[in-house]
Structure 1
Amino acid sequence: MAQQLNNEEGTTLIPPDKAAGESRSSLISASFNFINSIIGSGIIGLPYALNQAGLPFGLLLLIVVGFITDYSIILLIKGGHLSGTSSYQSLVQSTFGLPGFLILSGLQFLYPFIAMISYNITTGDTLTKVFQRIPGVGPDHILAERHFVILLSTVLFTLPLSLYRNIEKLGKVSLLSMVLTLTILVIVVIRAATLGPQIIPTENAWAFAKWNAIQAVGVMSFAFICHHNSFLIYGSLEQPTLANWSRVTHVSVGSALIVSAVFAVAGYSTFTGYTQGDIFENYCRNDNLATFGRFCFGLSIITTFPLECFVTREVVSNVICSRDLSRAEHVSITLLIVAVCTAISLAYDCLGVVLELNGVLSATPLIFIIPSVCFLKLSPGPWFQSENLIPIVLILIGVFVMITGLIMTSLYPQDCSHGVEMFYCADANVSVTVPPV
Structure 2
Amino acid sequence: MDVGRSMELQKMNGQHSRDLGPDKLNLEEGFDGLEFMAERDEFLPGTRPGIKAPQFTDFEGKTSFGMSIFNLSNAIMGSGILGLAYAMSNTGIILFLILLLFIAILSAYSIHLLLRSAGVVGIRAYEQLGHRAFGQPGKVLAGSIITMHNIGAMSSYLFIVKSELPLVMQAILGSFWFQTWCIGNACCAAAERTVCGLGGWSLQCLTKHNHSAYDFCEPQLFTINTQTAYTIPILAFAFVCHPEVLPIYTELQDATKKRMQTVANISILAMFVMYGLTAIFGYLTFFGGVESELLHTYIKVDPLDTLILCVRMAVLVAVTLTVPVVLFPIRRALLQLLFPEKPFHWARHITIAVCLLIIVNLLVIFVPTIRDIFGIIGATSAPSLIFILPGIFYIRIVPEETEPLKSKPKIMASCFAVLGFIFMVMSTSFIIIDWVSGESRSGGGH
| 1:6-405 → structure 2 map (5 Å cutoff) | 13=43, 19-21=57-59, 25-136=63-174, 199=205, 202-203=214-215, 205-211=219-225, 212-284=227-299, 286-287=302-303, 288=305, 289-320=307-338, 326=344, 328=346, 332=350, 335-336=353-354, 339-340=357-358, 343-344=361-362, 347-348=365-366, 350=368, 351-379=370-398, 380-405=402-427
1:232 Cα shift?
Answer: 2.8
1:386 Cα shift?
Answer: 2.9
Larger radius of gyration: 2
Aligned equivalents of 1:193, 1:94: Cα separation in 2: 60
Aligned equivalents of 2:358, 2:89: Cα separation in 1: 33
The answer to whether the 8 A contact 1:5-1:12 is kept is no
1:18 Cα shift?
Answer: 5.3
Give the direction of change, closer, same or farther, for the CA distance of 1:342–1:357 in structure 2 (3 Å limit): closer
| Matched residue count | 370
1:343 Cα shift?
Answer: 3.6
Give the direction of change, closer, same or farther, for the CA distance of 1:337–1:31 in structure 2 (3 Å limit): farther
Give the direction of change, closer, same or farther, for the CA distance of 1:311–1:337 in structure 2 (3 Å limit): farther
Give the direction of change, closer, same or farther, for the CA distance of 1:28–1:359 in structure 2 (3 Å limit): same
Aligned equivalents of 2:434, 2:279: Cα separation in 1: 21
Aligned equivalents of 1:251, 1:241: Cα separation in 2: 16
Aligned equivalents of 1:67, 1:325: Cα separation in 2: 43
Residues 374-408 of structure 1 deviation map (CA, whole Å, 9 limit, x = unaligned)? 11223332334333343233223212211111121
Residues 63-95 of structure 1 deviation map (CA, whole Å, 9 limit, x = unaligned)? 110111122123112212223323111111211
Aligned equivalents of 1:328, 1:369: Cα separation in 2: 36
Q: Which segments of 5 or more consecutive residues in structure 1 lack a partner in the other structure?
A: 140-190, 423-436
Aligned equivalents of 1:80, 1:342: Cα separation in 2: 33
Q: Which moved more, 1:408-417 or 1:98-107?
A: 408-417
The answer to whether the 8 A contact 1:12-1:239 is kept is no
The answer to whether the 8 A contact 2:131-2:139 is kept is yes
When the two structures are superposed, what TM-score results if normalisation uses the length of structure 1? 0.72
The answer to whether the 8 A contact 2:120-2:397 is kept is yes
1:341 Cα shift?
Answer: 5.5
Aligned to 1:431: none
Q: SS at 2:220's partner residue? A: coil
Give the percent of matched residue pairs that are identical in Structure 1 and Structure 2.
21
When the two structures are superposed, what TM-score results if normalisation uses the length of structure 2? 0.71
Give the direction of change, closer, same or farther, for the CA distance of 1:316–1:128 in structure 2 (3 Å limit): same
The answer to whether the 8 A contact 2:43-2:54 is kept is no
The answer to whether the 8 A contact 1:215-1:405 is kept is yes
1:315 Cα shift?
Answer: 2.1
1:59 Cα shift?
Answer: 1.2
Give the direction of change, closer, same or farther, for the CA distance of 1:242–1:53 in structure 2 (3 Å limit): same
Aligned equivalents of 1:32, 1:366: Cα separation in 2: 21
Residues 138-166 of structure 1 deviation map (CA, whole Å, 9 limit, x = unaligned)? 99xxxxxxxxxxxxxxxxxxxxxxxxxxx
Give the direction of change, closer, same or farther, for the CA distance of 1:80–1:330 in structure 2 (3 Å limit): farther
Aligned equivalents of 1:402, 1:335: Cα separation in 2: 29
Q: SS at 2:172's partner residue? A: coil
> Of residues 428, 442, 446 in structure 2, which corresponds to 1:406?
428
Q: Which segments of 5 or more consecutive residues in structure 2 lack a partner in the other structure?
A: 1-13, 17-33, 45-52, 178-196, 207-212
